[in-house]
Structure 1
Amino acid sequence: MTRILHLSDLHFGYHREDLVGPLLALVNRARADLVAVTGDLTHRGRPGQFRQAAAFLDAIAAPLVVVPGNHDVPLYNMPVRFLAPYAGYRRGLGRDLQPALSAGGARVAGLNSVDPFSWQRGILRAGDLDRLAGGVDPLRCNLVALHHPLEHAPGVDKTLPRGGAAALARLVSMGVRIALSGHLHRWTTEALLETTAHPGLLQVQSGTALCARPGDAQNEVTLLEIVGDRVAIERHVAPMPGLRFAPSDRLDVAFAAGRWRRCGQGSAVF
């Protein structure tokens, strides 16, 4: 059994300060084998915001795979945005934009989907996919962690990243089984099981863990428990303006005959 905790869209600088402690307590109480953080750790990519994000990450007991989001590059400083977009991120959070770690029966590989030349829309680069393919572990469940979703559920009007469709097909062909993403501040997993063009890739799109934007209505954390070809996915939600995360819902899925399907519920995740 391998436990992967998924956080996204922390938005330090526009975050719920009173929820930082409860979130950190939940993360460490989960006893995860690995924590994946899929971008937008800061709201405007400023030095003080990176310091806040770094202090939060340093307090997490589990190993981390962290990738940038579109908010982690400068918005208004155009020369820096185009010439050295990741300078602040690298100074504050580390030089590796696409780390990869193995834990238990899983391997999580980071994939940088940020396009510095487009504020919202992401990009998936062939060279990054080549690198990721070289590290796929046939003896483990392989996950990819990136900021931008590869597909959208019905009703989402955001533009998908450039190269997203090709990346989806290639991830499936190279043996990646799960994609963790954020960006939309909107939970989506089960809906994509019915609409995806690639049912061999389980897409877990998490909401925002800490952003204070009132329209989000809630903050949340996702925990995955992987046992062989079965995965239990549990959300813990803190409705605004509450200060407590509580279990919200759970999805049990199994991989068989080349695709993911919903299956019966097992034991509690935590």
Structure 2
Amino acid sequence: MTRILHLSDLHFGFHRAALVEPLLRRINTAQADLVVVTGDLTHRARPAQYRQAADFLRRIGPDWIAVPGNHDLPLFNLPGRIFRPYAGYRAAICRELAPMRRIGAVQVLGVNSADPLAIQRGRLPRRMVDGLLARLAQAPVNIVALHHPLQHRPEVDKALARGAEQALARLEGVGAQIVLSGHLHVWAAGAFLDPVAGRGILQIQAGTALCARPGDLRNEFCLLDIQGAELTIERHVAPMDEPGFRPPEYLHFSRASGAWHPLGHSPDQETEPIPTDPGATETAFRTA
């Protein structure tokens, strides 16, 4: 069994400070083989925020990889954004913008979907996807990790990343199995599975792990337990009106038949299930 912990949208500089220690405790007791952080480690890519993010990552016990998000590029320093957009990220987090890890039968491939020429919208140019496809291995499970989702549900008011639809079609064609993303601060797992349309990639869109924006209503992360063709997703949620994380909820998927399909949802607590959507939407600039 391979255990992958997925975090996204930490937003250091506009984060829920009281949740940092509970989050680290959960991470470091989860027995994960790898922690994957899908972008927005900082809120405005300022040096102090990068120092906070780097300190947090240093305190993670398991191996980890991260990819940049749109918030990890300087917003107000226009020369820096144009000429050295990833200088702060490379200095504080990692020089590699598209890292890769292989854990047993699972390969995780990072993708940098941030666009220095856009405030919040991502981009996946063809040459980048070509490079990604060239790195795909003949592994039983290939996981692609990026900040911007490859699909949006109808109620999402943000623009889909440029090239996302083409990238998704090409990944489907070569047999990638799972896509991890963030950006929207809205949890979704398996929402886009459609065997009739040939949509077989399991997309897991994380909520925000630490952002303190009240409209998000909750912070969260998830764990993926991968065992052959079976997957259990363990979702950990900390509502903003509660002091810490609730007991986890579990979702189960299988691709024993050749394509992913859900097996059910089994809350492991007596409280009501956590709703999927946040209670408020924001403008594109405010969520940039």
TM normalised by structure 1 equals 0.94
Structure 1 match to 2:168: 168
Instruction: Write the distance in 1 (CA, Å) between the matches of 2:160 and 2:197.
Output: 14
CA offset digits 1:164-203 (Å, max 9, x no partner): 0000011122221000000000001133235995522100
**1 or 2, which has the higher helix percentage?**
1
* Cα deviation code 1:83-126 (max 9, x no counterpart): 11101111111210000001132111100000110111100122
Q: Aligned partners of 2:125 and 2:196: how far apart in 1?
A: 21
The count of corresponding residues between Structure 1 and Structure 2 is: 268
Cα 1:215–1:258 shift into 2, 3 Å: same
Q: Please say if residues 236 and 246 of structure 2, whose CA atoms lie closer than 8 Å, have aligned partners that are also in contact.
A: yes
1: CA distance, partners of 2:87 / 2:194: 40
1:67 equivalent in structure 2: 67
Unmatched tracts of structure 1, length 5 or more: none
Letter in 1 for 2:119: W
Equivalent residues of 1:22, 1:243 under 8 A apart: no
Q: Are the equivalent residues in 2 in contact too, given 1:252–1:263 (CA < 8 A)?
A: yes
Rounded to whole Å, the distance in 2 between the matches of 1:83 and 1:185 is 29
Percent of aligned positions that are identical? 54
The offset of 1:256, in angstroms, is 4.3
The corresponding residue for 1:90 is 90
Rounded Cα–Cα distance in structure 2 between residues aligned with 1:187 and 1:195: 22
Describe the superposition over 1:209-236 as per-residue Cα deviations: whole angstroms up to 9, x where unpaired.
0000011110001111001111111210
Report the secondary structure of 1:10's partner residue.
coil
How do 1:200-239 residues align onto structure 2 when only pairs under 5 Å count? 200-239=200-239
**RMSD, aligned α-carbons:** 1.9
Match of 1:11 in 2: 11
* Equivalent residue letter for 2:146: L
**Separation in 1, partners of 2:81, 2:237:** 34
The answer as to 2:52 corresponding to 1:52 is: yes
Task: Give the match for residue 141 of structure 1.
Answer: 141
Secondary structure, counterpart of 2:188 in structure 1: coil
Post-superposition offset of 1:241:
3.3
The aligned counterpart of 1:31 is 31
- Given the superposition, is the C-alpha separation of residues 34 and 264 from structure 1 closer, same or farther in structure 2, using an over 3 Å criterion? same
* Regions of 4+ moved over 6 Å: none
* Aligned equivalent of 2:272: none
Gaps of 5+ in 2: 269-288
Name 1:126's counterpart in structure 2: 126
Contact 1:168 1:198 in 2 (8 A): no
Change (3 A) 1:196 1:66: farther
| 1:260 equivalent in alignment to 2:260 | yes
Aligned counterpart, 2:117: 117
Could you tell me how far apart the structure 1 residues matched to 2:72 and 2:206 are? 18
Distance in 2 (CA, whole Å) between partners of 1:122 and 1:112 is 9
Q: How far, CA to CA, are the matches of 2:169 and 2:155 in structure 1?
A: 22
> What residue in structure 2 maps to residue 193 of structure 1?
193
Residues 14-59 of structure 1 deviation map (CA, whole Å, 9 limit, x = unaligned): 0011110000000111110111000000000011111100110111
Q: TM-score, length-normalised on structure 2?
A: 0.88
Task: State whether structure 2 residue 209 is matched by structure 1 residue 246.
Answer: no
1:178 to 2:182 alignment: no
- The match for 2:281 is none
Structure 1 residues 73 and 151: alpha-carbon distance in aligned structure 2, compared to 1, 3 A threshold: same
Secondary structure of the 2:3 match is strand
Note if contact 2:190-2:202 (Cα within 8 Å) is conserved in structure 1: no
Amino acid at match of 1:24: L
- Cα contact 1:151–1:196 (8 A) shared by 2: no
Whole-angstrom CA distance in 2 between matches of 1:130 and 1:193: 24
Q: How far did 1:77 drift? A: 1.0
